[in-house]
Amino acid sequence: MKWNNQVKSARVLRGYELRVAFSDGYVGTIDLVPLFDLAPGPLVQELRDTATFQGVRVENGTITFPNGYDLCPDVLRYFCETGRVCSQGEVDRALAPQPESALAR
C-alpha cells in the first residue's frame, strides 16, 4: 500500500457508498456503513443522517463531513484497497511500519 495518500475527490454514489480518487490516480469505492458499528462515537453516529453524510468534501487531502468528522487518507485508502471497512486493530496491523527484514522478503 502507498503511504502519505492524498484524496483528490470524493462523491457519494448511493446510500453510504463513496467513490474516492487519490492524487496518484487510484480510484476506489467503499461502503462506509460498517463504520457505524466499528467506530461508535458521536461524530460517526451523526453520519447516519444522510444529509450529513452527503455533505462530504475534500479538505487538505482527506475527506471530511459537515460535523467535523474526517478519515485519515491512509486508512481510507486501505479500506478501498481491501474493499471493506476494517476494525481499528486490523488497520493498525496493516499500517504498522514493517521491520527491514520483512521488507526484504
Cell digits for 22? 487519490
Res 3 pLDDT > 70: yes
Q: How confident is the model at residue 92 (pLDDT cuts 50, 70, 90)?
A: confident
Percentage helix, strand, coil, to 5, in the chain? 35, 25, 40
Res 102 pLDDT > 70: no
The pLDDT, as a whole number, for residue 82 is 93
- Which of the 8 DSSP states describes residue 29? E
Q: How confident is the model at residue 16 (pLDDT cuts 50, 70, 90)?
A: very high
Tell me the per-residue pLDDT of 27-81, one tens digit each, with 9 for 90 and over: 999 999 999 988 878 999 999 999 999 999 999 999 999 999 999 999 999 999 9
Q: Residue 101 and residue 105: Cα distance in Å, rounded?
A: 7
- Three-class DSSP category at 36: helix
- Which of the 8 DSSP states describes residue 98? P
Side chain identity at residue 61, one-letter code:
G
**pTM of this structure:** 0.83
* Closest alpha carbon to 53 in 42, 39, 64: 64
In CATH terms, is domain 7-103 a member of 3.30.2020.10? yes
Q: Which residues contact 58 (CB under 8 A, 6 or more apart)?
A: 7, 8, 9, 10, 64
14 strand-pairing partners: 17
Q: Are 13 and 29 in contact (CB under 8 A)?
A: yes
